[in-house]
Structure 1
């Protein structure tokens, strides 16, 4: 019953954290741990071993998640090559899947060869991968929840983030964002609000026009009044999308609330970055083609890890030290070398 009580308490803490500030990856960590305690409490009532069972679940589940991820990346890499052609960029997910799979294969080889230090080194690598797997699971879980949180139905401004053009043409990924922004805009109109709509994106080296202009033309062709559109045509990154759009809205008196529209895989990271930049905004995600999602989510996750690279590095190093210290303190075994 202790585990169940801890799980319910954790879910309550999660709800309070989301109410206070939903744009934090830590919310996903709290939710994942709370759910684990809740499940353990439901299926296992011996409170004395609840913590050890939770640890076992995490130790087993995290590497398994990485193995599943490795398999999905390899399959996705094959699919990307079939759909998009044989290019280095399309082989990235396949290559990463192989890299993630390699330590597990080598660990089995090390155990079979009975090389203790080799096995300990690979166990250290596996623990680090397991930690990343745990954080990834928290990220995936909370991304799913975050996309389903309510957003203001009558925003004062809607900002659509660019994602690249093909020459001067809006590709399907960006069209999906614009269609979602139109849904939000029309929903606000039906409730008596006429929000501003900001198209945010500069001109890339391989683009014929600025993304903001191509996006505005798309919206106008869909029936949006030209006077309802503001164009932010300088940004080249998500951070700049947010900064320049914030400055543009501030020049008009900083109308709030603000809704940011991006792809579903990019929503949580956009929200986290908006919080760090002090932009009070809610993020709405648009649908993405299924074969594009694994690679896109992976890039988002790497970006989030990089935001707190030192904390994650220290956690990985601490975990990696455990099997090495264990081997160093074990008595010599003549069967191992």
Structure 2
């Protein structure tokens, strides 16, 4: 009875936060808490049953978890190496395309470190330092799991077709033309535009993107021309050509919408699905009550993009992470110092 109540309460708490605003890492944390509680309840009820079939079903999650802990890390490492090879072959050998390779090497180094166990060659006094590093890794593991869960849940966002504005986030031009990555964002907005126009009224599309140092025209202008060529009426488009990053995309677009509708409007934004959650965080930071819809990304590009997104999420919360890591390392160094002094 206790487990059922706890699981139900965690579900209610998660739903309240998620329905109020899914643009938060706390959503991932709350869902993970609920899922763990549900999993424990599921296994407990299964093994408490007198029916063998229920016990077998209850053992399946334990088998999956055991398999992932045993072989999952090796499969992930191999998958990262294979993805890095495909990505660099298709997108070039730029550093930004090497993140999956670096992640795979990081896992390989960790496995070798655990096998060799170099700590045995050092003084036992350094034990607190290695314990501190372990707790830092655990901290970021849980932070990553919360991010992945929140990211996954945000993909289910389905805004109503009563939007006054659609913000299309820029991502850079190639030879002053709209590249495929940016085109997918515009096409997502165009698709939503026509679907809403068919049932209610046509929204206004805001193309948000300034002019880069290697570009001869603002992104917003190239994006607008692309959409007009696809049949979107010019009078239903607006150019926001000052922004140079996602936060400014949201902030400057909000200023345009506020000036036109005096703060009373509905809006959404479009971007690639891997960028969707972080863009939502920037929208929230800019004070914009707008949810997003994501365009599809090539599967081979997704792992590298997700690593980049997570790094950006960590940078967004760098002050909190520095405090946590600083406290852990500081306490570890203090214990190490005490150990040397009183040995």
TM-score, normalised on structure 1? 0.83
Report the CA distance between 1:164 and its aligned residue.
Answer: 0.9
RMSD: 3.3
Report the CA distance between 1:327 and its aligned residue.
Answer: 8.6
Instruction: Count the aligned residue pairs.
Output: 320
The answer to whether structure 1 residue 315 and structure 2 residue 320 are counterparts is no
- Structure 1 residues without counterparts, runs of 5 or longer: 47-56, 331-337
Q: Secondary structure at the match of 2:260?
A: coil
- Aligned partner (choices 94, 102, 122) of residue 95 of structure 1: 102
- Aligned partner (choices 265, 270, 284) of residue 261 of structure 1: 270
Residues 161 and 200 in structure 2, CA contact (< 8 A), matched pair in contact too: no
Deviations 1:250-269 (A, max 9, x none): 22124510011111111111
Partner Cα separation in structure 2 for residue 209 and residue 97 of structure 1: 39
Match for residue 199 of structure 2?
191
Query: 10-19 vs 203-212, which deviates more?
Result: 203-212
Q: Secondary structure at the match of 1:82?
A: helix
Partner Cα separation in structure 1 for residue 232 and residue 308 of structure 2: 33
Q: 1:276 to 1:239 in 2, by over 3 A?
A: same
Match for residue 222 of structure 1?
230
Deviations 1:223-277 (A, max 9, x none): 1111111011111100110111111112212451001111111111111121121
The answer to whether structure 1 residue 278 and structure 2 residue 287 are counterparts is yes
Partner Cα separation in structure 2 for residue 67 and residue 32 of structure 1: 24
Q: 1:112 to 1:245 in 2, by over 3 A?
A: closer
Report the CA distance between 1:317 and its aligned residue.
Answer: 4.9
Residues 62 and 133 in structure 1, CA contact (< 8 A), matched pair in contact too: no
Report the CA distance between 1:326 and its aligned residue.
Answer: 8.9
The answer to whether structure 1 residue 13 and structure 2 residue 13 are counterparts is yes
Partner Cα separation in structure 2 for residue 312 and residue 162 of structure 1: 29
Report the CA distance between 1:329 and its aligned residue.
Answer: 9.9
Match for residue 3 of structure 2?
3
Partner Cα separation in structure 2 for residue 141 and residue 210 of structure 1: 35
Matches within 5 A, 1:24-63: 24-44=24-44
Residues 259 and 284 in structure 1, CA contact (< 8 A), matched pair in contact too: yes
Match for residue 137 of structure 1?
145
Report the CA distance between 1:208 and its aligned residue.
Answer: 3.0
Q: 1:65 to 1:37 in 2, by over 3 A?
A: farther
Q: 1:25 to 1:77 in 2, by over 3 A?
A: same
Partner Cα separation in structure 1 for residue 121 and residue 71 of structure 2: 23
Deviations 1:8-46 (A, max 9, x none): 211110000112222111111110111011101110369
